[in-house]
Amino acid sequence: MKSELISNNKSFGGWHQQWRHTSDDLHCTMRFAIYLPPQTEEGEQVPVLYWLSGLTCTDENFMQKAGAHRIAAELGIAIVAPDTSPRGDDVPDDPNLAYDLGLGAGFYVNATEPPWHRHYQMYDYVVDELPTLIEAQFPVTQQRAIAGHSMGGHGALVIALRNPLRYSSVSAFSPISHPTDSPWGRKAFSNYLGPDDGVVWQQYDACELLALSTPHLPVLVDQGTADEYLSEQLKPGALLKAAEQAKYPISLRMQPDYDHSYYFIASFIEDHLRFHAQYFSA
């Protein structure tokens, strides 16, 4: 797999880099960002936190706004942030240019419906293709954690619950917890996956997967009480209820007065990095 360095910036003793590569899964050129902590310059291999961003985002939002580099440098954790969808002139987009479908809104599923199915294979890209590239090209171990925000929180939970042996822990900010019962989720799934048959959609719904996922992973979820999308789109109560019914231990923290923005993420990203660090083996 050949990749091309786009940018390289020193940050807290490590390096923030952007790379582009041709994706076999997505049939387009993709960009990702990676933060390599200073330990890698000393010859160490470090574990990786994969960060999945939300609607309309690229790799840049988290890396520039979350303030994660300082703690990642201290803890010796690499952070990889992929884009949120395939990109390019040949990649289909919503014909109405809506923000919640098409470019910037991949929802981390493997699309089965035309015109989306050729390019929108974000699940396979995040689970298999991107980690294979990262582990071949950079000084990292095969220890992985995964986290995300909003649509990316949905993606992180689903991917971890479906692949518990690939990740040591999972966390999310303001995840779309029950997308089969969310306007955002139902719109995306009906386009990417076709009509709800009671099977396919449920494979991408954290509430449905909690009862099926073993072994159990450590799970941390933060949700702001002032989030404008709280009741209609995010539904953390449904996630908590599903976890209780499945006897799946999760930590769901309702944070008073916080909204859906990166101010919220920046306020608690240190907690999340330290949470993941404790489950990486020495």
CATH number at residue 82: 3.40.50.1820
Q: How far is CA 159 from CA 102, 125, 203, 217, 231, in A?
A: 20, 11, 10, 12, 23
The whole-chain average pLDDT of the chain stands at 97
In this prediction, residues 72-99 reach a mean pLDDT of: 97
In this prediction, residues 181-202 reach a mean pLDDT of: 97
Across the chain, the runs of DSSP E, i.e. the strands, are 3-11, 14-23, 28-36, 46-52, 78-82, 140-149, 170-173, 219-224, 251-255
Given this model, what pLDDT does residue 273 score? 98
Given this model, what pLDDT does residue 278 score? 97
Residue matched to tokens 């917890």: 177
pLDDT in tens, 163-179: 999 999 999 999 999 99
Beta-sheet pairing, 170-173 with 78-82: unpaired
Q: How far is CA 140 from CA 30, 44, 225, in A?
A: 20, 8, 37
Q: What are the contacts of 98-105 at 24+ separation with CB within 8 A?
A: 99/55, 99/56, 100/55, 100/184, 100/187, 100/188, 101/187, 101/188, 101/191, 104/55, 104/56, 104/57, 104/58, 105/55, 105/56, 105/151, 105/188
Given this model, what pLDDT does residue 62 score? 98
Torsion of CA 153, 85, 211, 251, to 10 degrees: -10
C-alpha span between 39 and 45 (Å, rounded): 8
Burial of 260 (0-12, 13-18, 19+ CB in 10 A): buried
272: containing domain = 3-278
pLDDT in tens, 89-136: 999 999 999 999 999 999 999 999 999 999 999 999 999 999 999 999
Given this model, what pLDDT does residue 282 score? 57
- Residues marked active site are found at 150, 227, 260
In this prediction, residues 210-229 reach a mean pLDDT of: 96
Question: What is the identity of the amino acid at 26?
Answer: L
pLDDT in tens, 24-46: 999 999 999 999 999 999 999 99
pLDDT band, residue 60 (cuts 50/70/90)? very high
Q: How many domains does the chain have?
A: 1
Neighbours of 39 (CB within 10 A): 19
244 Cβ contact partners less than 8 Å away, ≥ 6 residues apart: none
Calculate ∠ Cα 29-149-105, nearest 5°. 40
C-alpha span between 226 and 124 (Å, rounded): 34
Give me the sheet containing 78-82, strands edge to edge.
Answer: 3-11, 14-23, 28-36, 78-82, 46-52, 140-149, 170-173, 219-224, 251-255
Does 191 score more than 80 pLDDT? Answer: yes
Backbone angles phi and psi of 187, in degrees to 5: -65, -50
Does 2 score more than 90 pLDDT? Answer: no
Given this model, what pLDDT does residue 213 score? 87
In this prediction, residues 244-262 reach a mean pLDDT of: 97
Does 1 score more than 70 pLDDT? Answer: no
The whole-model pTM stands at 0.97
Given this model, what pLDDT does residue 140 score? 98
C-alpha span between 19 and 138 (Å, rounded): 12
Does 77 score more than 90 pLDDT? Answer: yes
